[in-house]
Amino acid sequence: MKIKKILAFVLAMMMLFVQVTSVLAEETDTTEWYELVEEDFEMVTEAGQTASPYALYLMGVITSITKLSSSKVGMRAEVSCTDVMSKITITFYLQKLSGTSWNNVGSTTVYAYNTSSTAKKVTASNLSSGTYRTKACVMVTTSNGYGETLTGYSGSINLP
């Protein structure tokens, strides 16, 4: 009986420490910045996925990027929740690889209201050659003001 209590305590502590989130500040290269536009398009690439097993409402974020032309990409984020949220906020970041670092080169925020899931798409045009990926920061808010956040990253693509 005592071993079960100790084991339960250890597991509870592990769950508490797993929920700690690190915050990092990124430097942004302002010499290259692109406008992201919400737009519908067909996705033709596999999605990268992140999930949070300890969230109360937010089940997961699936984030993907696809090449639409030699200088245009489409980004998509799909959000699933366990209940209807009063607001789902998705901030898309277009990131470009510079050496070994990913730098934000564009961002925009889109919203969905009174839903338990949403899929939003944005595009970025007139891009220079390089390797790009999508970062999607999602925040869901319940009707009583409780909020949860989760960030998803896509795989990378190369533009000639």
pLDDT tens-place string over residues 95-153: 999 999 999 999 999 999 999 999 999 999 999 999 999 999 999 999 999 999 999 99
What does the pLDDT read at residue 125? 93
AA identity, residue 32: E
In this predicted structure, what is the pLDDT of residue 55?
A: 73
What pLDDT score does 96 carry? 95
Contact 117, 85 (CB under 8 A): no
Q: Residue 33: its pLDDT value, please?
A: 79
Residue 25 has pLDDT above 60, yes or no: no
Across residues 15-38, what is the average pLDDT? 61
Q: Taking Cα atoms as reference points, which of 130, 135, 139 lies closest to residue 98?
A: 130
Average pLDDT, the chain: 82
* Residue among 158, 150, 157, 156 nearest 62 (CA): 150
The residue length of the chain stands at: 160
Computed over its alpha carbons, how large is the radius of gyration of the chain?
A: 18
64 to 48, 94, 122, 136: CA distances (angstroms): 6, 11, 11, 9
Confidence grade of residue 15 (pLDDT, cut at 50, 70, 90): low
**61-99 pLDDT tens trace:** 999 999 999 999 999 999 999 999 999 999 999 999 999
Confidence (pTM): 0.68
CA–CA separation, 48 vs 62, rounded Å? 6
